[in-house]
Amino acid sequence: MISKWSASLVRAGRSVRGASAPVTYTLIALCCLVFLAGPASGLNPAYGTGDELLAVQRAYFRRWGVIPAELFDGSAGSALTPATALFVHGSWVHLLGNMLFLYVFGAMTEERMGRVQFTLFYVGCGYLALLGYAVANADSEQSLVGASGAISAVLGAFLYLFPRARVTSLLPFLFFLPVRFPAWVVLPFWAALQWLAAGRAADGPGVAYLAHLIGFGLGFGYASVRYGRPTGPTRVRAAPAPTPEGENQP
């Protein structure tokens, strides 16, 4: 699966090469650097191995991730965790899945919004998506990390701004054959999958689908209020996986 994503990333790069999207690329670089420097990557021998590494990882996620049961205790540290959690990922697959979606859809959205506005939009919507999940699961002790609340907001904004953009997708039930659909088909289908998955999700380790839905709704709503009519047809030559990796509950 990772190899498929890597090939998709190369194809996606051809579509946005030369685009003026420094914030998108900086966010990707920061997420990758944080992951490589942290214990989740497993590359730093200073964190140990085996049970020792797992203990360090759990402590790391609890420090920088969102713990709903502790978020509203009044401390400044807890209040900041919905922002810090946006740059922390639980595994290689989690990181690569999120960064692929940000790379494909972030550049065009940033170009439309502008650098400063896109930065505030990304962080603000990501924060609110995690906050909304925490409110709905206020008793959960599971740490929550990942950028896909913010990335889901980017998808929502992209849907409104570029509804007729042609998105090349790899669908598992078609044996990963590349097929092209407009964004107004692909992204609502993705949102529907998140809704169905959220209805079946149980409390505990896994993907926080509710944060995806909140982020997507915030992004679409913001773009519809802030901007006028959507732009004309655009082609996005990319091949994302069916869904991005979500906020992870290690």
Indicate which residues carry an active-site annotation.
148, 212
- The pair of structure tokens assigned to 152 is 């889901």
Q: What is the DSSP string of 170-191?
A: E-GGGTT-EEEEEHHHHHHHHH
- The pair of structure tokens assigned to 243 is 């869904």
Burial 177-193 (b: 16+ CB within 10 A, else e): eeeeebbbebbeebbee
- H or E element at residue 237: none
Taking CA atoms, 141 is separated from 135, 177, 250, in Å, by 13, 40, 11
Whether the CB-CB separation of 216 and 158 falls below 8 Å is answered with no
Tell me the C-alpha distance between 24 and 107, whole Å.
6
Closest CA to 154 of 19, 2, 24, 42: 24
Q: Does residue 160 sit in helix, strand or coil? A: helix
Closest CA to 211 of 105, 100, 68: 68
Tell me the C-alpha distance between 165 and 182, whole Å.
5
Q: Does residue 124 sit in helix, strand or coil? A: helix
Task: For residue 207, list its beta bridge partners.
Answer: 248
